[in-house]
Amino acid sequence: MIRIGIDVGGTNTDAVAMRGREVLHGLKTATTSDVVSGVRQALTEVMSGARLRSADIGAVMIGTTQFTNALVERRRLAPVGVIRMGLPATSQLPPATAWPKDLKEALTVHWRLARGGHEFDGRMLSEPQPDQIRAFAQEFAQRGVQDVAISGVFSSIDDTHERLAAGWLRESLPQARITLSSEIGRLGLLERENAAILNASLGPLGLEVVAAFEQALQDGGIHAPLYLTQNDGTLMSAAQAALFPILTVASGPTNSMRGAAFLSGHRDAIVVDIGGTTTDVGVLQAGFPRQAGIAVEIGGVRTNFRMPDVYSLGLGGGSVVSADQQAIGPHSVGYRIHSDALVFGGSTLTATDIAVAAGVSALGDRRRVAHLQGQVSERCHALLQRMMADAVDRMRTSAQLLPVVVVGGGSLLLGETLEGQPLSRPKHFEVANAVGAAMAQVSGESDRVMHLNGIGREDAIAQVRDEARARAEAAGADPASISVLDVEDVPLAYSSGNATRIRVRVVGDLKEDRQ
């Protein structure tokens, strides 16, 4: 079965065709403002390069930064209605508390507090009131709000009240796009609620982007299933992506890390993904990105759903070198590197020019940077190396010397070593992100608080594991291929019933009959 993997970045759109574990062809094209034409072009060129027909394609996997950019740039965000179920508690800190001022100006949030929710041990906090939810729905309808986020206190333990509220809401807003916080976040009301609100704000854009990708496939005569990559390195269907666009945030670095693991053969390593503007550094554990253990900010908003632990710095191939040559980045010429950099006939000194002058890279015309060769190139390249080394050291959590895998089009900035440590630059390194998308698996996760009075710890873990497996199968995983990726078992101190929080994540290969 042949897969097409595509990663749509801010500057380049990378694409690969793969048969099993073999990369048939890979390429880079320029990202276009029109998503359809850019993806269509990438599909056409990669199929032509691999000599494939549309009928040969079994599945198409796409990673995109569209939703991340929308949140960071504060654009194309829909107004959101928010219902928090927690009264008489939770009234002191309303929804959207501590959000950046510019985001509050760009994203209108109509919030209401309602009765409902649960205690940490699953006991009901208060009885939900249907008439109250219906009244809120009518208010949202009058304001023209179609995207709604519902959050309940400890709904990650019991989501009954959130689902009841969604049903009552649809009586007045039958066309509403509803995000339940229990479907996205983990323990922690405000962070989980924030993630739900951000997801709801991306609702119309999610439909538009997925429709654009589907149109691109249709234009190319491809009738294979479409999947989008999530930020944990796994897949979700196009329909799921339209409902939960927030789960694609940070999928770009994740795809690169998964691709680096696949191409290099390293399951435990530090991955350095160098692009035109930024560098992302992450850690592979058992072939998957290490997940952040603390709350993560998205667009300045604190959230607590799964996110890769990635450190980003403003250093890439197009990074501008300061006039005194004492600093590199964070400003970049970006996609204009082929016209602005010295080695390509431009007038701006970039990191690529420094690498060429230092003899590390053979891009462009080295004669154009001959005046930099010597002390200038050595000093600037040493600074570049130091910045990269500091980023790598920042991600280490022990004295263990993990392999360092370098991928991305900008990885030619580095030589064969980084301050004495050998670097691994695998074949097809420049399109590792598209490879990561093409060979992605399907995941399932369950995160629950279990009470061990009357049930053993192993039995409790088994229950949560079975729920995670069921979710993976529902997402399209082959049951025979599902394996446990990680298990967390954290006892909750000072709680009754011998409570413990258990989180299980499983992964499996995409089921053949889904393709």
Tens-digit pLDDT profile for residues 318-364: 899 999 889 998 888 877 888 899 999 999 999 999 999 999 999 99
Arithmetic mean of pLDDT, 64-81: 88
Residue 1 DSSP class:
-
pLDDT at 514: 47
pLDDT at 442: 87
**Residue for token digits 């107004």?**
79
Is the predicted pLDDT of residue 394 greater than 60, yes or no?
A: yes
Tens-digit pLDDT profile for residues 35-59: 778 888 999 999 999 999 999 999 9
At residue 361, what are phi and psi to the nearest 5 degrees?
Answer: -120, 150
Both structure tokens of 377: 């190139």
**Which amino acid, residue 387?**
M
At residue 309, what are phi and psi to the nearest 5 degrees?
Answer: -85, 95
Is the predicted pLDDT of residue 315 greater than 80, yes or no?
A: yes
Arithmetic mean of pLDDT, 135-142: 94
Query: How would you label 153-164 residue by residue, b for 16+ Cβ within 10 Å and e otherwise?
Result: bbbbbbbebbbb
Q: How would residue 281 be classed by pLDDT, with cut points 50, 70 and 90?
A: very high
**Residue for token digits 């494939």?**
52
| Rg, C-alpha atoms of the chain | 24
Arithmetic mean of pLDDT, 209-230: 91
* Better pLDDT: 451 or 426: 426
At residue 460, what are phi and psi to the nearest 5 degrees?
Answer: -65, -45
Residues 6+ away with beta carbon under 8 Å from 358: 373, 377, 378, 380, 381
Arithmetic mean of pLDDT, 221-248: 90
| pTM beyond cutoff 0.85 | no
Both structure tokens of 105: 């100006």
**Looking at the DSSP assignment, which residues form a beta bridge with residue 289?**
284
How far is 497 from 453, CA to CA, in rounded Å?
Answer: 6
**Residue for token digits 């219906």?**
134
pLDDT at 494: 57
Both structure tokens of 207: 């439909």
- Beta-strand relationship, 109-115 and 80-87: parallel
From residue 492, how far is each of 118, 121, 449 by CA, in Å?
17, 11, 9
Both structure tokens of 503: 């989180």
Is the predicted pLDDT of residue 515 greater than 50, yes or no?
A: no
Is the predicted pLDDT of residue 402 greater than 80, yes or no?
A: yes
CATH numeric code, 267-428: 3.30.420.40
Task: Select 1-76+203-249's CATH number: 3.40.50.300, 3.40.50.1820, 3.30.420.40, 1.10.4080.10.
Answer: 3.30.420.40
Is the predicted pLDDT of residue 187 greater than 60, yes or no?
A: yes
pLDDT at 252: 83
Other CB atoms within a 10 A radius of the CB of residue 120 amount to 17
Tens-digit pLDDT profile for residues 108-133: 999 999 999 988 767 889 999 999 99
How far is 49 from 230, CA to CA, in rounded Å?
Answer: 27
Q: Where are the beta strands (DSSP E) in 346-440?
A: 404-407, 417-418, 421-424
Other CB atoms within a 10 A radius of the CB of residue 288 amount to 23
Q: Are 84 and 161 a contacting pair, CB within 8 Å?
A: no
pLDDT at 186: 76
Q: How would residue 424 be classed by pLDDT, with cut points 50, 70 and 90?
A: very high
Q: Are 169 and 139 a contacting pair, CB within 8 Å?
A: no
pLDDT at 482: 93
Q: Are 43 and 4 a contacting pair, CB within 8 Å?
A: yes
Both structure tokens of 8: 């749509």
Task: Select 78-201's CATH number: 3.40.50, 3.30.70, 3.90.550, 1.10.10.
Answer: 3.40.50
Chain centroid offset of residue 299 CA:
13
| CA-angle at 187, arms to 182 and 189, nearest 5° | 75
How far is 310 from 196, CA to CA, in rounded Å?
Answer: 22
* Better pLDDT: 458 or 187: 458
**Residue for token digits 């997940």?**
291
Q: How would residue 455 be classed by pLDDT, with cut points 50, 70 and 90?
A: confident
pLDDT at 441: 86
Q: Where are the beta strands (DSSP E) in 140-225?
A: 147-152, 177-180
As a whole number, the mean pLDDT across the chain is: 89
Both structure tokens of 284: 């592979």
- Beta-strand relationship, 2-8 and 12-19: antiparallel
